[in-house]
Amino acid sequence: MFVYRSAATISPVDYMVCSHRLRWPELLPWVAIIAAYFAFPSYLALGAQVMIMVLFALSLDLVLGYAGIVTLGHAAFFGVGAYTAGILAVHGWEEAITALPVAAAVAGAVGLVTGYIILRTRGLTLLMLTLAVASMLGEAANKANWLTGGADGLQGITLRPLLGVFHFDLFGRTAFVYCALVLFAGWVFVRRLVHAPFGRSLTGIRENAARMHAIGAPVRQRQIIVYTIAAALAGVAGALEAQTTQFVGLNVLSFDLSGAVLIMLIFGGVGRLYGAFVGAPLYMVAQDALSRLDPEYWFFWVGLLLVVTVMFARGGILGVADLLRRKVMR
């Protein structure tokens, strides 16, 4: 994964030891987010939703990009997080920030249990089982009217102002800043994780599980752990969605959402940490723009974009960018 071309001058050990050092392009998303806050004050609601999806896609990247687990049911955890935060708020837990760890814990627990059961399988079977988990939760949420509000959605979420000061305003300023800060924390965490031996070993599992077994790595255990962590992170994203929207509908558990986040991530580039930061905004902005231009048939263009991406831009946008850069440097 890490191609160090400019490394000829320093010793390989030194190079590898500082491979996790922050390089300045990594700060670009944050510059962009801060700039967006001031430059587009009327797009803050979209911005908040984009950042929620970035966090969600980031959690998927851990599972899909790093550990190589293809899932069509990642919305399960997003939804569990969203309902947890929503239900807490409806029942009087109106403090948003402390609800996040609770949502993470509940979603993580669901991830742990389901991961433990389904991660013994591979390929199509695993794909179907991830789908089944999300669909079952979706059906359950629809059934449990008394708890979730069913198809009408969970109403009556009220939140106290953040830190007692910032209430969730109509322009989405608070929501934007709140999402940005949580996303930042999520990024710091995920970045640490993927640059830690654990993250490297996930890459190893994706690249070659047989070898990971042969060097004594507890492969399945690591997969379950990362699945759990990613589930918790997706739960946080879901909780953010519930809190900023102050509403939770069944769509948070839908196949559409699982598919959308998968598309966003692959679109941006898988297993690169920054694919989520590129794919989610681009997809959502493109969707927003296309659905304005052509409300009835916009998904045709999205579909076409997907096909073209796969045909000509494998590795997503960042993959293509990498390729171009390498060609230029040669």
Partner 1 sequence: MKAGAVPRQERVSAVNEFLSALVSIMFHGLAYAMILYVVSVGLSVTMGLMGFANLAHGVFAMAGGYVAISLMSRLGLSFGPAVVLAVLVVAAASVVLERLLYARLYGAGEIEQVLFTIGLIFMSIAAAKFMFGSSQQELVLPAALRGEVSILGRMFPTYRAFIIVTGAIIALGLWLGLERSQFGARVRAAVDNRRMARSVGIDTDRLFSLTFALGSGLAALGGALGGELLTIHPAYAIEHLVYFLTVVAVGGLGSIRGPFLAAVLLGVGDTACKYLLPDIGAFFIYFALFGLLLWRPAGLFGRA
Partner 2 sequence: MRRLQSVFGMLAAAVAVMSPAAVSAAETVKVGVVLGFSGQASASVDQMDKAINLYVKQHQAELGDIKLDLIRRDDTGPNPDMARRLAQELITRDRVNILTGFFYTPNANAVAPLATEAKVPMVIMNAATSSTMRLSPYLVRVSLTQWQQSYPLGQWAAKQGVKRAYTAVTDYGPGHDAEAAFIKGFTEAGGKIVGSVRMPLKNPDFVPFLQRIKDEKPEALFVFVPGSKDATALMKAYTELGLAQAGVRLIAAGDCVPDNELASMGDVPPGVVTMGYYSAAATRPQNKAFVAAWQKEYGPDSIPSPFAVGAYDGMAAIFYVIEKQHGKIDPDRTMALLKGWRNDNSPRGPVMIDPETRDVVQNMYVRRLERVNGKLENVEVETIPMVKDPWPRLHPQ
Partner 3 sequence: MTVALETRGLRKNFGAMVVTNGVDFKLAAGARHALIGPNGAGKSTFINLIAGRLTPSAGSVLLAGENVTALSQEARVKRGLGRTFQINTLFANLTVLENVTMAVSERLGRGGDKLRFAGSRRDIVEEAYELLKRLHLAEDALRPVREIAYGRQRLVEMAIALGLRPRVLLLDEPAAGVPSAETAVILDVMEALPADMAVLIIEHDMDLVFRFAKTITVLVRGAVLTEGTPAEIVADPRVREIYLGEGRHG
Binding range to partner 1, per CB under 8 A, among 103-111, 215-223, 233-241, 297-305: 297-305
Binding to partner 2, residues 139-198 (CB under 8 A): 139, 142-143, 145, 149-153, 155, 170-172
C-alpha–C-alpha distance, residues 143 and 151, integer Å:
9
C-alpha–C-alpha distance, residues 121 and 128, integer Å:
10
Burial of 6 by CB count in 10 Å (0-12 exposed, 13-18 middle, 19+ buried)? exposed
Among 105, 127, 209, 282, the residue binding partner 2 under the rule CB under 8 A is 282
Alpha carbon 20 to chain centroid, angstroms = 21
By the rule CB under 8 A, 46 interacts with partner 2: yes
Minimum distance between the CB of residue 280 and partner 2, rounded to whole angstroms? 11
Q: Count Cα neighbours of 229 within 13 Å in the Cβ-side half-sphere.
A: 22
Q: Phi and psi of 168, rounded to 5°?
A: -75, 105
Instruction: Report the candidate in 216, 224, 222 with the shortest Cα–Cα distance to residue 199.
Output: 222
C-alpha–C-alpha distance, residues 320 and 298, integer Å:
25
By the rule CB under 8 A, 1 interacts with partner 2: no
By the rule CB under 8 A, 122 interacts with partner 1: yes
C-alpha–C-alpha distance, residues 272 and 265, integer Å:
10
Q: Which is nearer to partner 2, 95 or 254 (CB)?
A: 254
Minimum distance between the CB of residue 121 and partner 1, rounded to whole angstroms? 4
CB atoms within 10 A of CB 199: 20
Burial of 102 by CB count in 10 Å (0-12 exposed, 13-18 middle, 19+ buried)? middle
Sequential DSSP letters for 273-290: SSHHHHHHHHHHHHHHHH
Binder of residue 164, out of partner 3, partner 2, partner 1, none (CB less than 5 to 8 A by kind): none
Minimum distance between the CB of residue 95 and partner 1, rounded to whole angstroms? 35
Structure tokens, 30: 């944050």
Structure tokens, 148: 């979730």
- Amino acid of residue 205: I
Q: Which is nearer to partner 2, 80 or 224 (CB)?
A: 80
Q: Applying CB under 8 A, what is the total number of residues that bind partner 1?
A: 40
Binding to partner 2, residues 104-143 (CB under 8 A): 139, 142-143
Binder of residue 161, out of partner 3, partner 2, partner 1, none (CB less than 5 to 8 A by kind): none
Among 3, 311, 328, 329, the residue binding partner 1 under the rule CB under 8 A is 311
Q: Which residues bind partner 3 (CB under 8 A)?
A: 1-4, 7, 12-13, 15-20, 192-193, 195-201, 203-204, 207-208, 210-219, 222, 225
Residues making contact with partner 2 (CB under 8 A): 23-25, 28-29, 32, 35-36, 39-40, 42-43, 45-46, 49, 139, 142-143, 145, 149-153, 155, 170-172, 241, 245-252, 256, 274, 278, 281-282, 285-286, 288-289, 291-292, 295-299, 317-318, 321-322, 324-325
